[in-house]
Amino acid sequence: MHRTSNSFSILQAIAATVTMTILFWSIGLPSLQFVEAANVLTLSDTLSDSAPSVASNHEITFVTPSGVANGETITIDFSDGPFVFGSVDETDIDVLDDSSNLTVAADCSGVDEVSASSTSGVLTITFCSGDGASIPVNGTTTILIGTNATFGGDTGDADAQITNPVAGSYEIPVTAGSSDTGETRVAIVPNVQVTASVDTRFTFTVSGVAGGQTVNVADITDGSTSATEINFGELTDGNASTTAQDLQVETNAQNGFVVTVTADSQLVSTSGADIDGFRNGNFDTTAVAWEAPSPSLGDDDTYGHWGLTSDDPTLGSGLTDPFDAGGAGDRFVSASTTPVEVFRHNGPTDGTVTGEGTTRVGYKVEISALQEAADDYTATLTYVATPVF
């Protein structure tokens, strides 16, 4: 009978439990519920600079499955590393509920929607109770920290950033509201220095010009030349003779190039006679319009002269037009033992554009009836082309 009594007691207990449960259901008492933590979704932290020990902006974005109710908080833990907040305060923090930029303050003493404060590398954002701010279920939150913040829409207040730790991978846990949690990671890596080299490319070409070709607007060539020879032919008094050569440069030099020409002497014959520099042996260095020689008996400098011109309108450091190539042309200087600039460009060129990659240099000679007779007047010209880096 003892066993029977025990069995009965157990059955009584079971029956009582069942009876109580039925009673709860019948009188409508609330059933028990268990809250289960959820993971925040699409959590990321984008840094403006991932180099070690430098100040950087942060843009943290995530979705909260459970939302964040008014009065609750979001915490972001930067203590791994650690990241250093320095002077970062509420003016350097923006909180965006989807696209709405909430007003951020140091505390909830006013009518501000959220407050932001940090302790030991943990940033706490409180949705001020009674001020209406919250994050809805599955709402997207974006938190800006640094100079990318606009402090509720007022630009210019944000002036501090979080300083990165040394190189490594660091975990940043996030807790949103009463139940949603998650972690993201950021990698702090040294800056990558990119280097490269480009070989210098520089090609300078001299070409002959046929007769009947225009040079610097106002002159027409009387005879042909080659890349290595200029032959004026037989000169007659009172008749100027013009020849030319074409110059071409291809280069990748950053600041372009300069081309000068130098004569080793005046046009000299083996007998010692010479044809002097334009004008009348004055060896002009400032370009002027062509003039015929003005012979004066006994002054052989005035018996004949020769000079040169260029159709490049951008010469000298000031890129001026001394030969009036952009106007009427017909401007000459003396050929000289001092280099004369005849071609310049201030950047890379492929050798196709006139005045940049190509130009034409003209040479002109004229004698009077007093010029000494000789059949071997000669001078040597030297072009020097120099890239400018």
Task: Tell whether 243 is covered by a domain.
Answer: yes
Indicate the average pLDDT of the chain. Answer: 89
In the chain, % of residues over pLDDT 90: 80
Contact 327, 217 (CB under 8 A): yes
Same domain, 71 and 122: yes
In the chain, % of residues over pLDDT 70: 89
Return the number of other C-beta atoms located less than 10 Å from residue 148's C-beta.
16
To the question of pTM greater than 0.75 for the whole model, the response is no
pLDDT bucket at 18, cuts 50 / 70 / 90: very low
Same domain, 272 and 361: yes
pLDDT, position 22: 28
Same domain, 225 and 354: yes
162, 188, 214 - which closes a domain: 188
Same domain, 223 and 318: yes
Give dist(CA 212, CA 224) in Å, integer. Answer: 8
pLDDT, position 132: 81
Q: Which pLDDT tens digit goes with each residue over 348-388? A: 999 999 999 999 999 999 999 999 999 999 999 999 999 99
Q: Return the minimum-mean-pLDDT range out of 62-76, 185-199, 218-232.
A: 185-199
- Token pair recorded at residue 333: 């200087």
- In Å, the largest CA–CA distance within the chain is 166
Task: Tell whether 88 is covered by a domain.
Answer: yes
pLDDT, position 130: 87
157, 188, 219 - which closes a domain: 188
Res 13 pLDDT > 60: no
pLDDT, position 131: 84
- Coil, strand, or helix at residue 220? strand
Give dist(CA 88, CA 65) in Å, integer. Answer: 29
Res 152 pLDDT > 80: no
Q: Which residues have C-beta within 8 Å of that of residue 280, sequence separation ≥ 6?
A: 293, 294, 301, 302, 305
pLDDT bucket at 6, cuts 50 / 70 / 90: very low
- Is the peptide bond preceding residue 344 cis, with omega within 30 degrees of 0? no
Q: Which domain holds residue 281?
A: 202-387
Q: Which pLDDT tens digit goes with each residue over 234-291? A: 999 999 999 999 999 999 999 999 999 999 999 999 999 999 999 999 999 999 999 9
Alpha carbon distances (Å) from 266 to 272, 317, 333, 336, 384? 11, 27, 13, 8, 19
Residue 153 phi, psi (nearest 5): 110, -10
Task: Tell whether 16 is covered by a domain.
Answer: no
Task: Tell whether 1 is covered by a domain.
Answer: no
Same domain, 226 and 293: yes
One-character DSSP codes across 232-254: --S--TT--EEEEEEEEEEE--T
Contact 63, 84 (CB under 8 A): no
Same domain, 148 and 217: no
Task: Tell whether 19 is covered by a domain.
Answer: no
> What is the distance between the terminal CA atoms of the chain, rounded to a whole angstrom?
115
Task: Tell whether 241 is covered by a domain.
Answer: yes
User: Which amino acid belongs to residue 164?
Assistant: N
- Token pair recorded at residue 97: 């509920």
Same domain, 86 and 51: yes
pLDDT, position 112: 72
149, 164, 188 - which closes a domain: 188
Same domain, 81 and 114: yes
Pairing of strands 180-188, 38-39: parallel
**Residue 236: left if φ>0, alpha if ψ -120 to 50, beta else—which one?**
beta
**Strand pairing partners for 84?**
163
User: Which amino acid belongs to residue 209?
Assistant: V
pLDDT, position 101: 86
Task: Tell whether 76 is covered by a domain.
Answer: yes
Q: Which pLDDT tens digit goes with each residue over 131-148? A: 888 999 999 999 999 999
Query: How many domains is the chain built from?
Result: 2
- Token pair recorded at residue 217: 């607007």
Same domain, 212 and 176: no
Same domain, 184 and 206: no
Give dist(CA 353, CA 358) in Å, integer. Answer: 6
Q: Within the chain, where are the H helices?
A: 2-27
CATH at 155: 2.60.40
Q: Which pLDDT tens digit goes with each residue over 74-121? A: 999 999 989 999 999 999 999 998 878 888 998 998 767 899 999 999
Task: Tell whether 264 is covered by a domain.
Answer: yes
Same domain, 277 and 373: yes
Same domain, 59 and 152: yes
